[in-house]
Amino acid sequence: MESHHHRGGLVGPVLLIGLGLIFLAQNLGWVGGEIWLSLLRMWPLILVAVGVDLLIPRRSGWGTLVSLVLVVAVFVGGFWLSGVRLGAARSGATETVSIPAGNATRARIRFSPPVAALNLEAISASDALVEGTVPKPGYGRVRADSTLSGTIAVVDVTASGVFVVPAVGPQDETWRFGLTTQVPLELEISSGIGLIDADLTGLSIAGLDIETGIGRAIITLPAGGNFSGRLSSGIGQTVIVIPNGAAVHVLMTTGIGGVSTPEGSRPFDLGDNEYTSPGFAAAENRIELVIEQAIGSIVLREG
């Protein structure tokens, strides 16, 4: 009786190898978190590669080799033609968002970019709680809602409608916002795919909750402050920049990946890792963080 050996598809293994190479390049500093935005625009290539894989018969080793070469060529050629290799993204039309502080003495601010880069920093010479710009291409509409409960302001900046990824060439998908230094802030960020670069220097942070799907989050902590925070990421890298003299305690949970701290690097630890900055126990103001990273790396560094 003739036996038939079922050969699995090649697209899945090629994608896994490609993702592994991207993570390696990101850990070595060769590419930034914005690479995920560029790769997302290339999702139709997966359909093309699956079609090529089904079209070419693989009854022999030569057939498998030809199919593999064509699948890899589809991805490499698509990236080349699309301009993913280019570092500079084109800037396009933007929309301005500004939320006045009014009588607020405290604010809860939430950003929800589905697929974008988010840059946050402090603003001092402004009467706004939040102000900045968001790109128009790729979004149905960016909505900024603000309510005031007593003296507590609640601000929600999110994209509504259908998200459409630009099809050709690298685009600037960066949300750029400044946050007030005048009142304590509870900051929440929920991101699907992209890069988060939040410089909290000079801000009065009362709480921090960041959740990302795929990408990189770089969080620069304030030099002072007394708050707790949680950061959760699916795939990518979480970087925490600790100012000199800040009292910080971090509990880290990793699935597949590694942890690097100012005390040294433990590149392939699995499970729970803990870091406590010198003088934490005696400090009056303390920052306590819980970081959960499913796949990827956690980096704590002094800044």
What tens digit of pLDDT does each residue of 159-213 get? 765 444 443 344 566 889 999 999 999 999 998 877 899 999 999 999 999 999 8
Name the one residue in this structure whose structure tokens are 């030569």.
Answer: 62
Helix spans in the chain (H): 11-27, 35-40, 44-55, 61-82
The ranges assigned to domains in the chain are 11-82, 94-302
Phi, psi of 134 (to 5 degrees): -130, 150
Q: How far is CA 240 from the centre of its chain?
A: 13
pTM for this prediction: 0.71
The share of the chain scoring above pLDDT 70, in percent, equals: 61
Residue 106 · residue 151 · CB < 8 Å: yes
> What averages of pLDDT result for each successive group of 10 residues across the chain (303 residues)?
51 69 63 59 64 62 65 60 44 78 92 84 88 71 84 87 44 82 94 88 95 89 91 90 91 85 59 81 91 89 85
Six token digits for residue 216: 């990189």
Task: Report the residue count for the chain.
Answer: 303
